Amino acid sequence: MKADLHPKNYRLVVFKDMSNDYAFLTKSCIDTKETITWEDGNEYPLVKLEISHTSHPFYTGKMKLVDTAGRIDKFRSRYAKK
């Protein structure tokens, strides 16, 4: 196995699903600029997610349209002219 292959800066990070405000705390080495105060009173880096296992149709069993960037509206306006 190669030496120094894995990053050394693992720390606790909060990942938050913005569609339903579900958040979980886990270890990661992702760089973030935002922080959040967690339930234990400590401040952790925050990563905002568009979708997680609590909002994904495969896990919830409900079909839900997730369009955060307006991709569907762009598609309809582009091809409505033709």
Helix locations, 5-79, DSSP H: 57-60, 71-79
Domain ranges for the chain: 11-79
Query: How many CA atoms lie less than 13 Å away from 6 in the CB half-sphere?
Result: 5
Is the pTM higher than 0.75? The answer reads: no
Tell me the per-residue pLDDT of 9-46, one tens digit each, with 9 for 90 and over: 889 999 998 888 889 999 999 999 999 999 999 999 99
Number of H helices, E strands in the chain: 2, 4
Mean residue pLDDT across the chain: 81
- Residues 19-49: b if buried by 16+ CB within 10 A, e if exposed: eeeebeeeebeeeeeeebeeeeeeebbbbee
R_g of the chain, CA atoms, integer Å: 18
